Every structure is written in structure tokens, then in C-alpha cells.
Amino acid sequence: MAVAYRTDLGLLALRLGAGSVLFAHGTQKLFGWFGGGGLGAAAEGMEQMGFRPGRESALASGLAETGGGALLALGLATPAAGAAAAGGMAAAVSLHLPAGFFNASGGLEHPGLLGWTAASLGLAGPGRFSLDELTGHCLNRPWVLATAFTASAVGAAAVIRKRARFLAQQKASGG
């Protein structure tokens, strides 16, 4: 009994921490909160980084982080929340990959850890101290897990491929 309680408290702490960080990053993009530039600046940044179209890319990224983070923190639709946040972070990892691992050199450490944590929470489930528990886990089912992670992986792969093609075309044309 004590071990299960500790596990549930640990999952709550992890969900609140990771979910809050994801939520904050997403709201920077969407609303300019927490010192962010808002959707216009995020769209411009996405264009410059090769994510096209910029506005739609910024909106998708912001929604994956904000929505995924909020749902993870609450422990609601945990598999879908984890999958959405992990998919969003996969695109960020692809952007930072050329700089290596460590954040100090612009590497993938931060988005990689957030994505890994979100995916792990989606797989592990929310624990007892969650809205999923209160709703009888109606959105925390094996089919939700499979569907959400499949859709997230397909979507992230498509975005990453599209950016890579754009960057290759830009390089080939000398731009």
C-alpha cells in the first residue's frame, strides 16, 4: 500500500512539473505569456527555422505544448496528452540535433527530456491522483494510447520530413 501511494505521488509530481513546463512554453508561443513573443513572433521564428507554413506550425507546436502540458498536469487523457507533447518535442529535437546533446551548445537536451518525460507519462498513466482516475479512466484506455502515439509519430515524422525537404531545396538553390 505504501509503495503504491508513493508511486502515485511521484507520478503526480512528475506530471505537475513536466506539464507546467510544457504549458509555459506553449503559452509563450500562443499568447506571449511568460516573456514569449506570441503567435506572430512564433510564426516568424518557425518560418526562419524551415517549418512551413510558419503560422500553422507555430499554432500546432503551441497547442501540443499548451494542451499536452495542461492535460498531463491534470492527469486527463494522459496517453493522448503524452503523445501530443512528445510529438511536438520530436520536431524540436530534430531542430536541435545538429548542435549535439547538451543545451549549453544549443543541443537537444531540453526538448529531448521534455518529450521523453511526456511519452513516459503517457505510457505509464497518471496514477490515482488524477482526473483520469476521477472519470473512471474513460480517456486512459489501451486504444487511446495506441491511436494517440501512432497519430503523433506519423504527424511528427511528416513535419520533420517536410522541413528536411525544404531545407535541402533551399541549400540546393543556394539560399
Provide the grid cell at 79: 496517453
Alpha helices in the chain (DSSP H): 2-31, 38-48, 54-74, 78-96, 109-124, 131-134, 142-172
Report the alpha-carbon distance of residue 125 to residue 76 in Å, rounded: 10
Q: Read off the pLDDT of residues 88-139 as tens digits, 9 standing for 90 and up.
A: 999 999 999 999 999 999 999 999 999 999 999 999 999 999 999 999 999 9
Q: Which residues contact 110 (CB under 8 A, 6 or more apart)?
A: 96, 103
Q: Distance between CA 129 and CA 15 in Å, rounded?
A: 10
Closest C-alpha to 80, from 91, 64, 56: 64
Q: Which residues of the chain have pLDDT under 50?
A: none
Q: What is the mean pLDDT of the chain?
A: 96
pTM of the model: 0.94
Which residue in 16, 19, 30, 152 sits closest to 91, CA to CA? 152
CA dist 82 and 92 (Å) reads 15
Measure Cα distances from 125 to 10, 75, 107, 133, 169 in Å.
12, 8, 29, 10, 42
Question: Percent of the chain beyond pLDDT 70?
Answer: 99
pLDDT recorded at residue 6: 95
